[in-house]
Amino acid sequence: MPLLDYIFPPQCAICSRVGYEICDYCLLHIPKALPSCCVCKRISTYGVTHKECSFIDTPLLSIKGWNMDDRYLRELEKKKGLNIYSIYRYLLFKIVKCSKLEEKISKSVIYPMYSESKDIFNLNKYLAVSLNGQRKKDGTILVGESLISLDILKEQIESIKKDSIKEILLITLY
């Protein structure tokens, strides 16, 4: 544990419990997201984009962590406003662990999701670097806070589609 953590220990963003970015009790009470299509938001098997919704030939899977209400989002926004991204990293690694994506990440190229907001794009870059893929071309992973604009996502996929991509995995926190 770094020395700074002894002086300024992390606190749960929701309940202020010392020692956690977000404690297990609070995390347990945030509703989990069901696997859904990233285009139409309807439930889909394993988060695969429906054939009628797909805008690319490559399979597009979407994994979303939680359905956050305004109370949780306000707390996260406060942290993001102060450039404290550790809670976002913690939530991302919870998704990776629960979804058993470690091997897929190790064999994929990881990109941050584009955003019109500089703050959100900086956060997305931080999350993508945190995953530290091996830059192999078995798959492509786009990582971000949340999917804000489908048009921006389409533009980003078009720009990286030049490479031979087997599948695209979209990981969002909420």
pLDDT over 90 at 144, yes or no: yes
Q: Which tokens belong to 23?
A: 């404690």
13 within 8 A of 87, measured Cβ to Cβ? yes
- Whose CA is closest to 23, among 75, 81, 64, 62? 75
20 or 6, greater pLDDT: 20
- What is the pLDDT at residue 62? 93
Q: What is the pLDDT of residue 59?
A: 86
- pLDDT given for residue 2 in this prediction: 66
* Greatest pairwise CA separation for the chain in angstroms: 54
Sign of the CA dihedral running 109, 144, 114, 126: negative
- 92 contacts 143 by C-beta, under 8 angstroms: yes
Contact between 131 and 104 (Cβ < 8 Å): no
Residue ranges of the domains in the chain? Answer: 1-30, 33-172
What are the CA-CA distances from residue 109 to residues 118, 140, 158 (Å)? Answer: 22, 5, 15
Task: Provide the Cα torsion 144, 50, 102, 120; round to 10°.
Answer: 0
Which one has a higher pLDDT value, 21 or 65? 65
Q: Answer yes or no: is pLDDT of 55 > 60.
A: yes
